[in-house]
């Protein structure tokens, strides 16, 4: 455990020094929130609904840091360490692949958590956003979305040959998820067959859940999404650890 | 020789890349508490040998035992007791010297005092500097320090003094001799024959993946009939023919 703490502290320092994730996972979502806040203020999301546009958007805003961390930050840092032969140096020490991956995973969990807290605080303070539904349920769906998306990133980073292929795979995952997950295009307008396909994405499930739980809307079947995201997490983490390549 | 007296035992190590044989049935035995030099021209198979011994590369055939253990199956336990300095050691882009040392030290049960090691190797004043801002020689010394942080019983040093000036090389030799006196086993590769003469108890000369000489520096001189060890090395390694 001592080594986990030291590795986490140093790797976190290096990651912050690099600034990329501070910008994409923490500052960017806040900037989007501020822009939306200035445009919509406390206006309702649509006529006759009891929640504001911002309240409807908070869940989706929280997924920006999740996407940036899980589909860009995490896979790229692990594959870069492989390409630069840093993992090869670790290979001739007693450290296990699982511990190294857990350290990097934890760093991005922290980024996502910081983004969540800053988004909620800012939107509550300045635009009187409240969680209409249940806060624990909202946090639960956030946690599940984050862990499942990050674990996909861990798998990509664990098995990609180098930084370039990791970023190609990351993009192949990132953009379809961003477009078809319901983050930009509402799920409801897609044909039925397509809805079934995109519902495998943990992000699709996550955004639907976060929206419903924060607004207090009926969640429908809760166990379906939980099962999908849980399965994605277990499979991805299993693949990441068992198929891990040092170089 | 009994196995418990051996730090490294290699038998019949064979490795080829895309049909080209890099190692051809190599046998090695490194006794505990000695300095062993693996010599040969570039491309003779030195780095491949070290990587196969460490288990970072899979040999096509042959057996390897390091401190009596299989490096592939018992990686975690073995590398508590073994230090490695790679030729192309790399590091995280923005990392500082003390952070790199701290990060390596935390992986071991009984790490050496890395501040003391840095002082001993003359980079004690550079702890807060970024690793990338160090000179080539300072970085080389840092990577020797990293290999010694585990307080190892056995250390692998690949081209240990490349890029060091004459004074610093002597300092590194002296420290390694002191550590040998404390029971450390060293397996090194080098292109500097004065270094090999000063440090190595035994050497093995590789030529296209085959051991062409095995013995002491004295024996190499005697076998080749050359007065100077460098001449003996060039003759035995076949580099002279090529030139």
For chain B, say whether A162 makes contact (Cβ under 8 Å): no
Nearest-CB residue to A93 (from B79, B90, B102): B79
B-chain residue closest to A80, CA distance? B92
Are residues B192 and B39 in contact, defined by beta-carbon separation less than 8 angstroms?
Answer: no
* CB spacing of B95 vs A14 below 8 angstroms: yes
Q: What's the pTM?
A: 0.91
Q: Is B224 exposed, middle or buried (0-12, 13-18, 19+ CB in 10 A)?
A: middle
* A:B CB pairs within 8 Å: 66
pLDDT tens digit sequence for A188-234? 677 888 888 777 777 888 888 898 899 988 877 777 888 888 999 99
B interface mutation test: which of A86, A92, A96, A107 has the most B CBs within 10 A? A92
Q: What is the pLDDT along chain B (243 residues), one digit of tens a residue?
A: 567 789 999 999 999 988 889 999 999 999 999 999 999 998 899 989 999 999 999 999 999 999 999 999 999 999 999 999 977 668 998 999 999 999 999 999 999 999 999 999 999 999 999 999 999 889 989 999 999 999 999 999 988 888 888 998 999 999 999 999 999 999 999 999 999 999 999 999 999 999 999 999 999 999 999 999 999 999 998 877 655
Distance (Å) from the alpha carbon of B96 to chain A's nearest alpha carbon: 9
CB count within 10 Å of CB B119 equals 14
* Closest C-alpha to B140, from B119, B127, B116, B157: B157
What distance in Å separates the CA atoms of residue A106 and residue A101, rounded to the nearest whole number?
9
For chain B, say whether A1 makes contact (Cβ under 8 Å): no
For chain B, say whether A85 makes contact (Cβ under 8 Å): yes
* Closest C-alpha to B84, from A100, A83, A91: A91
Q: Is B36 exposed, middle or buried (0-12, 13-18, 19+ CB in 10 A)?
A: buried
For chain A, say whether B84 makes contact (Cβ under 8 Å): yes
**ipTM exceeds 0.85:** yes
């Amino acid at each position: 455990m001592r080594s986990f703490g030291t590795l986490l502290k140093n790797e976190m320092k290096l990651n912050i020094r690099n600034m990329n994730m501070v910008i994409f996972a923490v500052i960017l979502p806040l900037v989007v929130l501020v822009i939306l806040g200035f445009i919509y203020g406390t206006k309702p999301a649509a006529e006759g609904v009891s929640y504001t546009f911002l309240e409807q958007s908070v869940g989706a805003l929280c997924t920006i840091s999740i996407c940036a961390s899980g589909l860009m930050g995490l896979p790229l840092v692990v594959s870069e360490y492989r390409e630069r032969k840093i993992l090869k140096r670790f290979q001739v020490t007693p450290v296990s692949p699982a511990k190294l991956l857990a350290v990097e995973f934890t760093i991005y969990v922290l980024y996502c958590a910081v983004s969540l807290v800053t988004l909620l605080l800012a939107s509550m303070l300045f635009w009187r956003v409240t969680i209409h539904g249940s806060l624990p349920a909202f946090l639960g769906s956030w946690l599940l979305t984050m862990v499942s998306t990050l674990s996909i990133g861990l798998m990509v980073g664990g098995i990609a040959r180098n930084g370039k292929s990791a970023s190609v795979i990351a993009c192949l995952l990132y953009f379809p998820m961003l477009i078809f997950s319901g983050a930009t295009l509402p799920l409801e307008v897609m044909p039925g067959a397509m809805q079934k396909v995109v519902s495998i994405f943990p992000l699709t499930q996550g955004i639907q859940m976060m929206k419903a739980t924060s607004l207090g809307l009926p969640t429908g079947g809760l166990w379906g999404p939980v099962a999908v995201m849980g399965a994605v997490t277990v499979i991805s983490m299993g693949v990441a650890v068992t198929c891990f390549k040092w170089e | 020789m009994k196995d418990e007296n051996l730090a490294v035992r290699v038998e019949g190590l064979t490795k080829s890349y895309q049909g080209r044989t890099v190692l051809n049935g190599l046998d090695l035995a490194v006794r505990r508490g000695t300095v062993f030099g693996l010599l040969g021209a570039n491309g003779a198979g030195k780095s491949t040998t070290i990587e196969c011994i460490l288990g970072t590369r899979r040999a096509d055939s042959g057996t390897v035992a390091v401190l009596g253990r299989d490096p592939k199956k018992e990686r975690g336990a073995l590398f508590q007791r073994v230090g490695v300095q790679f030729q192309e050691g790399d590091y995280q882009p923005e990392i500082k010297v003390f952070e790199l040392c701290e990060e390596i030290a935390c992986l071991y049960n009984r790490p050496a005092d890395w501040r003391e090691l840095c002082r001993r190797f003359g980079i004690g004043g550079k702890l807060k500097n970024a690793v990338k801002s160090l000179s080539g020689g300072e970085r080389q010394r840092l990577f020797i320090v990293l290999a010694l942080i585990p307080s190892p019983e056995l250390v692998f040093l690949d081209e240990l003094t490349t890029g060091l000036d004459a004074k610093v090389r002597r300092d590194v030799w002296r420290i390694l001799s002191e550590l040998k006196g404390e029971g450390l086993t060293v397996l090194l590769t080098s292109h500097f024959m004065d270094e090999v003469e000063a440090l190595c108890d035994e050497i093995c000369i590789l030529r296209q993946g085959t051991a062409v000489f095995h013995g002491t520096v004295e024996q190499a001189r005697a076998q080749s009939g050359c007065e100077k060890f460098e001449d003996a090395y060039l003759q035995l390694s076949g580099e002279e023919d090529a030139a």
